[in-house]
Amino acid sequence: MTDVLTPATDTGAVLPPLRIGRHVIESPVVLAPMAGITNRAFRRLCREYGREGSALASGGGASGATSLYVSEMITSRALVERSPESMRLIEHDPDENPRSIQLYSVDPATARAAARMLVTEDRADHIDLNFGCPVPKVTRKGGGSALPWKKDLFKAIVGAVVEEGGRRDIPVTVKMRKGIDDEHLTFLDAGLTAEAEGVAAVALHGRTASQAYSGTADWAAIKQLKETVTSVPVLGNGDIWSAEDAVRMVHETGCDGVVVGRGCLGRPWLFTDLAAAFAGTSARVTPTLGEVAATLRTHTEYLIDFYGEEERACRDIRKHIAWYLKGFPAGSTVRNSLALVDSMAALDALLATLDPDAPWPGEAAEGQRGRAGSSRTVALPDRWLESRELSEEHRRTIAEAELSVSGG
């Protein structure tokens, strides 16, 4: 799909395949769930590049689960109620394996019902639980990265979903942050609880909720979690902008695999790089602007297939434009016009104005993608921090929250 540098070195595999329950993931890389991003269209694109990387590393046609590609977050209540958008979001391509879905819930009964639906209706092969979302509308209801503070609630949700998954050997994993802020850390006890409840792996984003995506990810916390949770894989997440970052994280933390989010925005070929890097080769993708434009167009085609509407697909691709063009010579007029595109014909006309031979810009295209934001006080339910156990008042709060968070 894109030009690849000839491997300069081959040092042998950095890590063995990642085992998530019964699934063997050839390249120990997980696509992080990202709202509005990791739909079926984007996952398809990333899978294609991941397969390319595995084939490159092995010298032949790789097959199977090259990496684990997780859906965007699905609200358990909306799933149980079968909202049309949630049902769309849990769709998978016929060749998508394992079919991976991330669930969000603040209520054990609803989480159990959603997991039971996925398991009994054969809609997933892997379930990930979201305890990492730092968005205020989620944390102020006690969800996401605020939830592990309530140890009994966290244990109940994890235990319920693991039990349902166990009915058909569907592994369950947990993705979390360090805690609410530096004074209210939860990752070590949450990791131990998840391990005791029978999860297949735990993933840690090395930031607190109060950091959002600002500052620097604390890889030392990932190392600490790896030293604490010893019977299941520990995955590291945060500030992986390149394959070299991923390998460095493994060496510094001892983690069993990496979770990649913002680093692949507008850069799905990062999965080629990652597969090659973990296989021990230095091959990296360096696409020309023409090749990037072709990938952007393919992404749009996949979105049309996903939505069934050309206009909606074109509206969706707009947010990816700046990420794809990062570092390349493309004037503001073209960039602004692309950000308003409403049809494939308009997209093609604008892409045709780009210089297809413009080479990969190197450092200008590397590094951080997506908004970092700034540190903030975390929005929480009243008196949430007064106790690690759930009060009756907070039981009512989360019951209301489960009903109020919109689907998808």
How many C-beta atoms surround the C-beta of residue 8 within 10 A? 9
Strand, helix or coil for residue 283: coil
Q: Residue 73's closest CA among 132, 22, 125?
A: 132
C-alpha span between 20 and 26 (Å, rounded) = 11
Q: Could you write out the three-class secondary structure of 139-178?
A: HCCCCHHHHHHCHHHHHHHHHHHHHHHHCCCCCEEEEEEC
C-alpha span between 13 and 349 (Å, rounded) = 44
The one catalytic residue in 133, 255, 264, 314 is 133
46 is catalytic: no
Q: Are strands 23-25 and 18-20 parallel, antiparallel or unpaired?
A: antiparallel
In sequence order, the 6+-apart residues with CB closer than 8 A to the CB of 396 are: none
Tokens of residue 211, six digits = 């950091």
- In the Cβ-directed half-sphere of 60, how many Cα atoms lie within 13 Å? 2
Point out the residues that are catalytic.
133
